A and B are shown apart, each in its own frame.
Chain A
Amino acid sequence: GEDVEQSLFLSVREGDSSVINCTYTDSSSTYLYWYKQEPGAGLQLLTYIFSNMDMKQDQRLTVLLNKKDKHLSLRIADTQTGDSAIYFCAESSLEGGATNKLIFGTGTLLAVQP
């Protein structure tokens, strides 16, 4: 079945760039998402990319997609302490119809040191 993998932890200093990586196995993935989870809260959508795109930029966030290697990354420029959270990669596909079921990765805990 589909699988989405992420490293569990990343530590950066405030002001540096953070890069969170994700790999997935489903070659029929159509949309790939990044969600952010702050302590005690649910997940919030940060950004998403369609599978026919290589890159998407949204203010401090840059998403890179290498479809050949099934690799997705999220770069956060000028990381702030408020960016400390768990970041989840997720993918959806059209397999079985337009179900909008997401397969989530394990989540990466980003710790930003002041």
Chain B
Amino acid sequence: DADVTQTPRNRITKTGKRIMLECSQTKGHDRMYWYRQDPGLGLRLIYYSFDVKDINKGEISDGYSVSRQAQAKFSLSLESAIPNQTALYFCATSQWVPYNSPLHFGNGTRLTVT
């Protein structure tokens, strides 16, 4: 979905390096999310934000941090990357209402930590 743009699409980094994954959206949605996808594990929620300055931990937030710089931008940082953070990372957005508003996903960032 071109309305949710993730950069970079692919990234290879070394253990211990700090990296940032960027997400921007043109949908005007208040809610933004970061998910991680691993084969056989589905998607797991890392962090989510309901508005600028609102940050909430998901089920697997350890080793990650986020920043909601503006309504349209939500970045994910790995302060010191480790190999088990190798995964496909997705940013998603949704409207505030109605409650069952679907998530709109970006195309993902494939991260490899060597």
Contact = CB atoms under 8 A, between A and B. Distances in A.
Interface residues of B, number: 25
Contact of A102 (B41, B103, B107, B108): B103
A101 interface: yes
7 nearest CB pairs, A to B: A42-B105, A45-B102, A104-B43, A104-B42, A106-B42, A31-B100, A43-B105
B4 A42 contact: yes
Contact of B105 (A6, A30, A44, A105): A44
Interface in B5-58: 31, 35, 40-45, 48, 58
Interface of A: 1, 4, 6, 8, 30-31, 33, 35, 40-45, 48, 50, 88, 92, 94, 98-102, 104-107
Contact of A41 (B41, B59, B94, B107): B107
A40 B105 CA distance: 12
A93 to B, nearest CB: 11
Contacts of A99: 48
B102 A42 contact: no
